[in-house]
Every structure is written in C-alpha cells, then in structure tokens.
Structure 1
Amino acid sequence: MRVLAAMSGGVDSAVAAARAVDAGHDVTGIHLALSRSPDAERTGARGCCTVEDARDARRAADVLGIPFYVWDLADRFEADVIEDFVAAYAAGATPNPCVRCNERIKFAAVLDRALALGFDAVVTGHHARLSADGVLRRSVDAGKDQSYVLGTLRPDQLRRAMFPLGDSTKARVRAEAAARGLAVADKPDSHDICFVPSGDTGAWLRDRLGPRPGPIVDAATGETLGEHDGSFAFTVGQRRGLRLGRPAPDGRPRYVLDISPVTSTVTVGPAEALDVWHLAADVAAWSRAEGVDVDCLAQVRAHGGAVPATVTARGGELLVRLREPVRGTAAGQAVVLYDGDRVLGGGHILRTSAERAAA
C-alpha cells in the first residue's frame, strides 16, 4: 500500500514510519506545520511544531530512506482546533484539543488530502491497536494507551488508519529507535497543550479573550468569596489557584463546581459536589444500535480510569448512566466507551447530572 506517515519529530512517529517501511509499504513522510510562528527550539517536553521538530522529522525520514515533505496546515489548525478551544472555554466548557486535532486535522484534513493524492492510509505513532476488522483497541502499554484521544473517530476514518505501535511498550519503542540509529530515541515526549508551550492555559486564554472579571461564589451560601479576572481560567474540579478570601467553615478545601460565562461567575464547593452520575454526549461515533442499552466502561479523561456504565444512543445523543460516580467532569470533555479493550465509540459531553436517578 501507499501510505502517508505523519512524522511529528518525536520517537513514536519515527518508529511507526519505520515499521510501515519494514511491512513493505510504499511510505512517504510528512511533517505538519501547525503553528503560524513556530519557535526555533522546544522547551524540554513542552510544545511541539517547532523548527527543531521539523528537522528531527526530516532526519528520521533520511535514516529510513523515504521521501519527506512539510505540509502547512497552520490556518486549518487555527480555525478547527485553536479557535474551537478558545470558544469552548469562553462558553464555560473544557475541551480536549488532542481529540479535536485527531478528528479535524490528522484524520480529516490530512486523510482527505492523502486520499486525493492516491495514498491508501495514514500512519501515526499513536499507542493504540486496530483489529483486522477495523475495531479500535487499547494499546498493550496501559500507561501509554491513546485510544481515548482516537475514540471519537468514525469507522471510515479508522479503515484508513494505521497504528503500528499498539503492540509495544514505550520502552521497547525507544530501544528500537536507538537500534535503528534514530536520533530521537531519547527525545522527551511532549506534554500539555501543544499550542500553549508555557503550560499556563489561563494566561494564554487571557491574552486571547481579555480580562473578564467576576465573582467566586460559595455554592451553599451564595456568599462571594473572592474575585477573578476571567472564568475561562478555571475548569470544573479545579482546586488550586482559587485565591479565596477565607477558608470553608469546616476547613475543607473548595473546588470549582460550575462556571457561568454569561455572568462570569465561578461557583465553588466541597469535593463530593463534583460527583457526576449521568452524562449526555453528542454521537461522534457509535457501533451499537439506536435505543439499545449497552453495558460498557466509560472513560472521561485521557489518563483517567474507566468506570462501569450503561449507554443508550437516542435522539442524536449518547446517554451514559454511570454505576459509580466520576468526579469533576465537565461539558466539552470527551467520553469514550469500551467493551473490555475494544472502543465502542464516543462523543463530546453536552451536559452532566449529579442526580443518581436522573433520566
């Protein structure tokens, strides 16, 4: 097959491309230029899409002996991922930009262009597996599993995807890279949000949205406990950085329970008030029949655990009834649903409920 290998400049994508070559595919490497003003160098494990990353990807392609190109998708990334991220926070939601990037860039814009150019599939370095029947599964390396950030991809997108690293641990990938003479063997993994290299999401959003001051209010009493300069700097479940004027009467920590962007109000309260028992999400992908209850596992964070749940697809939504609560879940996050290690589908959370008997 003619396959396009998306090469970020990291170790995973380099080894994924190498394995595609070993499998006998006709491989072409591409690096996605997603930043309009890329930095020359990375800052440790923060950020990506730097000039250094592009050079590392090119060097890896040279070692593998494959053609290599840089595709400038900065405008598409700005519109489909960054602007979506900003708008979601401004509306009080908590988006996952990695999920959006996979949906709208790697397996939409890149895949569409690849198919138009005559390629058969796109190869990435995600730690996930694809069964012969096209079913997405967790990686064998549970600590590096990335099926969650791929869990909203449609079957037609997965049929054109290749994830060669799903059967390997990260340690094995690094050892293989070193044995192949790839200079990225010991390169740190990138962390946090790639387009916020400072790691300070609140400050980055403030630069984009400007200050929007408002009160921090106690959920139980309605008392104003402090002020903030932008509700977008907070996420449901947050504890640090609240800068409250006085402690709770019982001395227990307070957490963000709700964000109202219309009034710029942040509501805080005790940890148990964060418990969520029901979710409703849009249907990004779903492999079961409409209106049928499906027992499964639900995961709401990339690095969180999965909890038992029952899911029904109805009226264009996934209705998720959790058998044990998840804490600090907010609209905008993705929920991905599993049958063992098999991904059944997922969507983006529209609303949550703390009521155990909620419909």
Structure 2
Amino acid sequence: MRILAAMSGGVDSAVAAARAVEAGHDVVGVHLALSRAGGTLRTGSRGCCTIEDAMDARRASDRLGIPFYVWDFSERFRDDVIDDFIAEYRSGRTPNPCMRCNEKIKFAALLERALELGFDAVCTGHYAALVDGPDGRELHRASDAAKDQSYVLGVLTAEQLAHTYFPLGSTPSKAVVRAEAEARGLSVAQKPDSHDICFIPDGDTKGWLADKVGAATGDVVDRTGAVVGSHEGAHAFTVGQRRGLSLGVPAPDGKPRFVLEVRPVSNTVVVGPKEALATAEISGERFSWAGRPQSEGRFECEVQIRAHADPVPARAVFDDGVITVVPETPFDGVAPGQTAVLYDGTRVIGQFTIDRTVSAVPVAVAG
C-alpha cells in the first residue's frame, strides 16, 4: 500500500512509520504545521506542534529513508479546532480539542488530501486496534489499556477507518515502543510525551480563555438560586471543579461545594454538594458511528465520558436523531460539551457530544 505517515515528531508516530516501512509499504512522512506562530519552540511549550517537533519528524524520516514534507493546515486547524474550542466555552460547555483535531484535521482534512494524491491509507502512532469484521472495518481498544486511545478516535467513521493504519495497536506497552525506537537509532526514543492543549503552549487555559472570551464579574449561586459568592469570568469554571470558588457563604452542612453548572447567558456559576455531581442520564444529537450505523431503538453498551475514565455499563436509546444513555451507576461530574464514546466490549460503536445531563440528586425544596 501507499501509506502517508502523519509524523508529529514524537516517538509513537516515528515507530509507527518505521513499522509501515518494515511491512513493505511505500511510505511518505508528513508533519502538519498547525500554527503560524513560527517562533514556538519546546522551551516553555507543552504541546506537540512546535518547530522542534517538525525537525524531530524530519530526522526520523531521514533515518527511515522516506520522503518527508510539512503541510500547512494552520487555517483549517484555527477554523475547526481553535474557534470551535472558544465557541464551546462561550456557550458554557467543556470541549475536547483532541477529539475535534482527530475528527476535522487528522482523519478528515489530511485523509482527504492523502486520497486525492493516491495514497491508500494514513498511518498514525495512536494506540488502537483495527479489526476486519463481518460488516467492515472495526475500531477496538489497544492491547495496552494504559495507553489505549480508542476514546479520542471514536469520532472516526466507517469510510475513514477503511483508510487508516495503526501499527501500534497490539504493542504491549510504551516501554516496548521506546526500546524499539532506540534499537532503530531514532533520536526521539526518550522524548517526553506531549501533554496539555497544543495551542495553549504555556498551559494557562484560564488566562488564554480570558483573552479570547473576555471576563465579566457574575454570581455564584446554589441549586436554589441563592447567591453564595461571585466570580470574575464563568469561562474559568468547569463542572466538578472545587478549587478557586471563593464562596462568601458557607454551605449549611459545612461541606465543600463543587461546580454543578455554568450558565453563560446569565454569567452564573451553580455550585452544590459533591453528591449532586452524580449524573443519571446524558443525551446528545451530534453523533457518528465507528463502522456500521446503529439502528434506532434500545441497546446495551459501555460508555466512557473521558479519555482515561473507566467505562460504565449502560442502556442507550437511539431515537429520532438523539442518543440518550442511562448508566447502571451514575456518572460523576459530566459537563455538556464532553464526548461520550460507546463500546461493545473492546469495540467502539460510536460517539456523541453531550448536550444535556440529568442529575441523580433532585434539588431540595425548602419548607
């Protein structure tokens, strides 16, 4: 096959490309330039898209003896990932930019260009497995549960899965990948993993959002609507947060309070007891299926609401373009904007963006 290897400059994508070459494929490496801030370097940066990363990707390609290119996807990244991130926070939601990047950039824009240029598949260093099932290509969890990235890949469609290549899916651990990189003479063998949001290199999400969204003083209220404090910008809060609330009125029981809801229209933050974070139901209408589409009706599944959360057995209902999920045990602290990925065992069924949540704890009525 003709393989386009997406090379981030990290060890995983370098070893994935090396395995594609070793398997006898015709491989070309490409690094995506997702920012036009040309001075961004690893120093002070905690992302994965710096100039140094591009140089590391080039060195790895040279070592593997494959052609290498840098493609400018900065405009598409700004429109589909950064602007979406800002808009979601303005709406009081908690987005996952890595999901949007996989959905809109790596497996949409990049794959589209790859197919136009005659490539058969895009190769990445993600830890996930592909299985050819009776109804087509299936996406499954990786062998290494600690590194499994099937959650952030839950946005992939059947067509995208048909042109995707994940050489690391059956690798038992990251240590094996690093050892292989060392043996292959790849300079990124011991390079630290990237973390945090790549387009906020200093990690100060609160300050970055204040600059983009703006900050305005508002009320912090309890579940009955009583004012218990104030804030300097609702964008700085997310569901489940405990620290930084600066409440002027203590809870009647003296226990800590947590953010339960962010209301951007009224610039209000709602707080309450920890038990009120328990979520009995979630639903959404922005969804996709990872393979064969799910028929309308009820079905059993497991649901994961964060990249590193444990899956929870649940009952799902797909009806009139809306997915509603009721877990066997309540979720803890779910925010609108998060992604729920549905599983059948190790197989990814699909995903949806959470639009609505229902608390498992009703509001106490005074009197």
TM-score, normalising length: structure 2? 0.94
What does residue 63 of structure 1 align with? 63
What does residue 3 of structure 1 align with? 3
Q: Distance in 2 between matches of 1:330 and 1:353?
A: 11
Structure 1 residue 319 displacement after superposition: 1.4
What does residue 212 of structure 1 align with? 216
How big is each residue's C-alpha offset from its partner over 1:29-66, in whole Å with a ceiling of 9 and x where there is no partner?
00000012044421477112111000000000000000
How big is each residue's C-alpha offset from its partner over 1:298-352, in whole Å with a ceiling of 9 and x where there is no partner?
0000011110001122111211111110111111111001111111111111111
Q: Distance in 2 between matches of 1:58 and 1:194?
A: 20
Secondary structure of 1:266's counterpart equals strand
Q: Distance in 1 between matches of 2:271 and 2:22?
A: 54
How big is each residue's C-alpha offset from its partner over 1:195-244, in whole Å with a ceiling of 9 and x where there is no partner?
11222211110011121221111224x33222222111111111122122
Q: Distance in 2 between matches of 1:45 and 1:248?
A: 40
Secondary structure of 1:143's counterpart equals coil
Question: What are structure 2's unaligned runs of at least 5 residues?
Answer: 363-367
Q: Which amino acid aligns with 2:350?
A: G
What does residue 107 of structure 1 align with? 107
What does residue 307 of structure 1 align with? 312
Partner of residue 329 from structure 1, selected from 326, 330, 334: 334
Q: Which amino acid aligns with 1:36?
A: R
What does residue 316 of structure 1 align with? 321
Structure 1 residue 280 displacement after superposition: 0.8
Partner of residue 191 from structure 1, selected from 195, 211, 221: 195
1:202 aligns with 2:206: yes
Q: Is the 8 A contact 1:8 1:31 kept in 2?
A: yes
Deviates more, 1:160-169 or 1:37-46: 37-46
What does residue 293 of structure 1 align with? 298
Q: Is the 8 A contact 1:4 1:119 kept in 2?
A: yes
Secondary structure of 2:340's counterpart equals strand
1:268 aligns with 2:271: yes
Deviates more, 1:308-317 or 1:223-232: 223-232
Residue pairs, 1:39-54, within 5 angstroms = 39-43=39-43, 46-54=46-54
Partner of residue 354 from structure 2, selected from 342, 345, 349: 349
What does residue 87 of structure 1 align with? 87
What does residue 186 of structure 2 align with? 182
Residue pairs, 1:101-250, within 5 angstroms = 101-133=101-133, 134-168=137-171, 169-220=173-224, 222-250=225-253
What is the CA RMSD across the aligned residues, in angstroms? 1.6
How big is each residue's C-alpha offset from its partner over 1:69-124, in whole Å with a ceiling of 9 and x where there is no partner?
00000010000000000000000111100000000000100000000011110000
Q: Which amino acid aligns with 1:323?
A: E
What does residue 365 of structure 2 align with? none
Structure 1 residue 171 displacement after superposition: 0.9
Secondary structure of 2:188's counterpart equals helix
Q: Is the 8 A contact 2:44 2:202 kept in 1?
A: no
Q: Which amino acid aligns with 1:41?
A: L
Q: Which amino acid aligns with 2:102?
A: N
Q: Distance in 1 between matches of 2:187 and 2:44?
A: 16
How big is each residue's C-alpha offset from its partner over 1:224-272, in whole Å with a ceiling of 9 and x where there is no partner?
2222221111111111221222432322111100111001000101111
Q: Is the 8 A contact 1:335 1:347 kept in 2?
A: yes
Structure 1 residue 288 displacement after superposition: 5.1
What does residue 76 of structure 2 align with? 76
Report how many aligned residue pairs link the two structures. 356
Q: Distance in 2 between matches of 1:185 and 1:223?
A: 55
Q: Which amino acid aligns with 2:282?
A: L
TM-score, normalising length: structure 1? 0.96
Q: Distance in 2 between matches of 1:42 and 1:224?
A: 44
Q: Distance in 1 between matches of 2:155 and 2:361?
A: 26
Q: Is the 8 A contact 2:11 2:191 kept in 1?
A: yes
Secondary structure of 1:150's counterpart equals coil
Q: Distance in 1 between matches of 2:300 and 2:344?
A: 8
Q: Distance in 1 between matches of 2:279 and 2:253?
A: 23
Question: What are structure 1's unaligned runs of at least 5 residues?
Answer: none
Q: Is the 8 A contact 2:45 2:202 kept in 1?
A: no
Partner of residue 259 from structure 1, selected from 241, 259, 262: 262
What does residue 280 of structure 1 align with? 283
Q: Distance in 2 between matches of 1:255 and 1:43?
A: 35
Distance verdict in 2 for CA 1:39–1:228, change over 3 Å: farther
